[in-house]
Amino acid sequence: MERPEIIKREIEALVFDLYGTIVDMQNGLTEAVTPFLKKKGWAGRPNSFVTWWRRTHFENSMIDALCDRGHTPYRQIGHRAVSYVMDRCGIPYTQDEVRWLVGRIETLEPFPDVVPALERLRGAGYKLAILSNGDRDMLAAAGPHIGFRFDHVISVEQAGYFKPHWKTYAKAEELIGEDRASCLFVANHSFDCIGAKAYGMRTAFIDRRKRPFGETPYQPDIIVGNFTELAAMLS
């Protein structure tokens, strides 16, 4: 890992993943689906339902990027993922219910440490940006729930591929206007850090879940437990 003083000297912009890094996706969606699943009479664990939903969504988005036959909107991938999990669980549903569930993504709240840390990082003079797999309209809808105005909010829709395709990080570099080596990409997911690092950005892994990063040549430059630690290190 690179020394913090070098990162502080050379980084001009911080680029954040949104879902699961800035907003608490697992707990937020679990809270949303719990009364819905209870009403349906499903006896399983709501947290497991959300985990299956998110894993299916991730798998389908990776297939979409690898097939390279045109970018499918994040919302449409989400509808497919939720429908699959409902079928898997034997839960009867309507398409209106599927749309409602996927719409909960737009209302997710940030982790408690996020906004104070972002304010501290802004005070330190960094450009602050989001690079998300979400559609542009979904990111716009999420803004008021996050409660912080970023310098740039970038959807991979603008690149035509889901992360970790290299073109997504290239589009962020272009729109932010800083060289890739001057950008620190921040994510709670190793795959996202790997994609950014392979492209040439510096990376910070937010290890909230206390999980190993994995054996890869694209190791993060910084590993911290939360945004508070990240802001303290860089400001």
Scanning the chain, the segments in alpha helix (DSSP H) are 4-10, 25-40, 46-67, 74-89, 95-103, 114-123, 136-146, 166-176, 190-199, 227-234
- DSSP secondary-structure letter at 169? H
Q: What is the pLDDT of residue 149?
A: 97
pLDDT for residue 2 is more than 90: no
- Averaged pLDDT for residues 187-215: 97
Domain positions in the chain: 4-24+108-234, 25-107
Asked if residues 126 and 11 have their Cβ atoms less than 8 Å apart, the reply is yes
Show the tokens assigned to 38. Answer: 């209870």
**CA distances in angstroms from 221 to 15, 47, 177, listed in the order given:** 14, 31, 21
DSSP string, 99-134: HHHHHGGGGPPBPTTHHHHHHHHHHTT-EEEEEESS
Q: What is the pLDDT of residue 212?
A: 93
33-70 pLDDT tens trace: 999 999 999 999 999 999 999 999 999 999 999 999 99
Half-sphere exposure of 41 (CA within 13 A, CB side): 4
| Residue whose entry in the numeric block shows the structure tokens 């803004």 | 143
**Dihedral-angle region of residue 149 (phi above 0 means left; psi in -120 to 50 means alpha; beta otherwise):** beta
Q: What is the pLDDT of residue 182?
A: 98
Band (pLDDT 50/70/90 cuts) for residue 3 is confident
Q: What is the pLDDT of residue 122?
A: 98
- Averaged pLDDT for residues 172-187: 98
Rounded-to-integer distance, Cα 20 and Cα 36, Å: 22
Band (pLDDT 50/70/90 cuts) for residue 75 is very high
Asked if residues 77 and 87 have their Cβ atoms less than 8 Å apart, the reply is no
Which residue in 124, 152, 120 sits closest to 229, CA to CA? Answer: 120
Band (pLDDT 50/70/90 cuts) for residue 4 is confident
pTM of the shown model? 0.95
**CA distances in angstroms from 228 to 37, 106, 114, listed in the order given:** 35, 24, 7
147: helix, strand or coil: coil
pLDDT for residue 5 is more than 90: no
82-128 pLDDT tens trace: 999 999 999 999 999 999 999 999 999 999 999 999 999 999 999 99
CATH of domain 4-24+108-234: 3.40.50.1000
Q: Residue 155 belongs to what H/E stretch?
A: strand 152-155
Biggest CA pair distance of the chain: 56
CATH of domain 25-107: 1.10.150.240
